[in-house]
Amino acid sequence: MKYGKNQWARIASLLHRKAAKQCKARWYEWLDPSVKKTEWSREEDEKLLHLAKLMPTQWRTIAPIVGRTANQCLERYEYLLDKAQNREGLSAEEDPKRLRPGEIDPNPETKPARPDPVDMDEDELEMLSEARARLANTQGKKAKRKARERQLEIARRMAMMQKRRELRAAGLGTFLGLAPKTKPCMDYNSEIPFEKQPPKGFYDTSGKNQKSNLWTFNV
């Protein structure tokens, strides 16, 4: 799977009229390679009947023990009950489990896939072609953009190196494109950040400064 087993919303966006929950159920109920689709053996039927007696209606718990899905266990259990009650003699029209016209299958994810209709409308064909194009695209937009930016950065570095070589060959030393090694920084212990000295006035204030210093020292 291209997107893994957790991004079902992203997978559903590639399919026509399918929700993320339907895609997840379809995978775990039928498409997963670990799902067993062979005929039931006698040992599996006996184990299913025994577990159904011990844990009635707990099909999610019974399924991993039997090695089948929960819907497979439920359908097989109902089939065995019908067989025990001699309901196999009913015709297809008299079968109560047969879907009537207009009814919807409650568990379509557990059924085998059917081929798509040939006469699809334009919207369905367009969505199908878009999904195929997106699935064929192994690199997304972000990966393409990063690769393009990486190529531009390499080209810029090569051009800068060539320019430095030419200037060095011409006897012109330059620090083109190089940032200064040390940046001027402020010492907050000895300096006052953003301090502005007031301009000198017309009158001498040295005497007042001495008096204020003496007063501060006495305090």
The dihedral region occupied by 36, where left means phi > 0, alpha psi between -120 and 50, and beta the remainder, is beta
Q: Are 65 and 145 in contact (CB under 8 A)?
A: no
Using the predicted structure, report yes or no on whether residue 79 has a pLDDT greater than 60: yes
Cα–Cα distance measured from residue 43 to residue 66, given in angstroms and rounded to the nearest whole number: 10
Using the predicted structure, report yes or no on whether residue 31 has a pLDDT greater than 80: yes
Cα–Cα distance measured from residue 30 to residue 111, given in angstroms and rounded to the nearest whole number: 7
Which CATH number fits the domain 38-90, given the four candidates 1.20.1050, 1.10.1740, 1.10.10, 1.10.3470?
1.10.10
| Token pair of 80 as six digits | 């065995």
Top pLDDT among 196 and 175 is at 196
Q: Tell me the average pLDDT across 163-187.
A: 72
Neighbours of 87 (CB within 10 A): 14
Neighbours of 48 (CB within 10 A): 23
Domain boundaries, the chain: 1-35, 38-90, 137-169
The whole-number pLDDT of residue 153 equals: 92
Neighbours of 211 (CB within 10 A): 10
